[in-house]
Amino acid sequence: MYSKGYKVAVTAPPLFWVTLFLLFAYVILFAHSFWSVRDGQIAREFTLANYKQIATSPLYLQVLFRSMKIAGTVTLLALLLAYPVAYYVSFQARHKNLLYQLIIVPLWVSYLVRAYAWKTILGSDGVLNTSLQFLHVTHGPVSALLYSPFAVVLTLTHIYTPFAFLPIFASLEHVPRNLVEASQDLGAAPLQTFRRVILPLSLPGVIAGATFAFVLSLGDFLAPLLVGGPSGIMISNIVVSLFGAAYDWPLGAAISLCMLVLVVALLFATERLEKRYSYQ
């Protein structure tokens, strides 16, 4: 009896918190998505106009596809950076713990600090443009470096690569070393050992890292706001605007729910893939 009461006392507060501030919030968001705005006021009458506007308006579809393209590019770059580093730290590095700490140090720094740092680097009078002019590579500041999709991809890749590194490193750490040694003893070349043993066993971590990078990048709005400019605006910036200055909460709620469905579907698909390639 004591054990049962203790479990209820421990689990009740977090369940209440999740229900009140997450599930209940989603219910309110769901209800708002079927309302509309009339004369500056929210009309609580059922309508599908918001979803119809999302499906037919080229603006929202264009920004959504741009957001998915940016998120996909960030995911690819993050994996290309994270996997080799994770492999080296796991299999080759002597001071594994030290390197691990150095790689995750950026997570200890404020998000805004990292974003503003790239704004300073890429600006017209920033470090990169100043260096290019000093080396006579360019005759003036390159304006395309800042306030562009390139700046958004670069900033988000820097911010979310550690999130891709962590699950990949964890999966590589759980690769049985006796299988690697057996492959080498049987005469397999290092590349063959990697391709046939290490890579397949680390795929769950790769999938998890890609999921982290894509979902977090897709929902980001601060980096596009700071370094994106008009051509780097993402779908989350549209949602923030609709809930802010535009005062169109129903349309913002509808877009938010569409993004939620997209993310949940992606998480479900990646979970199936992780189970498929899991070696445990």
Structural domains of the chain, with CATH = 57-277 (1.10.3720.10)
pTM tops 0.95, yes or no: no
For residues 193-203, average pLDDT:
92
Assigned token pair, 55: 């499906």
> Average pLDDT, stretch 28-39?
93
The predicted model gives 58-80 an average pLDDT of: 95
Residue-level pLDDT at 12? 85
Contact 103, 85 (CB under 8 A): yes
Q: What's the rounded Cα separation, in Å, for the pair 270 and 276?
A: 10
Mean pLDDT of 251-278: 89
pLDDT digits (tens, 9 = 90+) for 217-250: 999 999 999 999 888 999 999 999 999 888 999 9
Residue 21 reports pLDDT greater than 90? no
Separation of alpha carbons 137 and 130, rounded Å: 10
What tokens does 50 get?
A: 């918001």
Is pLDDT at 272 greater than 80 in this prediction? yes
Contact status, residue 21 vs residue 3, Cβ threshold 8 Å: no
Tokens read off for 165: 């590194």
Instruction: Inform me whether the pLDDT recorded for 93 exceeds 80.
Output: no
Give residue for tokens 């600006």.
123
Residue 278, pLDDT score: 65
Instruction: Quick: pLDDT tens for 108-126.
Output: 888 889 999 999 999 888 8
On the CB side of 62, CA atoms within 13 Å amount to 7
**Binning pLDDT at 50, 70 and 90, where does residue 3 land?**
low
Q: Measured between alpha carbons, how far is 163 from 157 in angstroms, rounded to an integer?
A: 10
Instruction: Note the pLDDT tens digit of each residue in 139-174.
Output: 888 888 889 999 999 999 999 999 999 999 999 999
pLDDT class of 271 with cuts at 50, 70, 90: confident
Which residue in 19, 20, 53, 23 sits closest to 36, CA to CA? 53
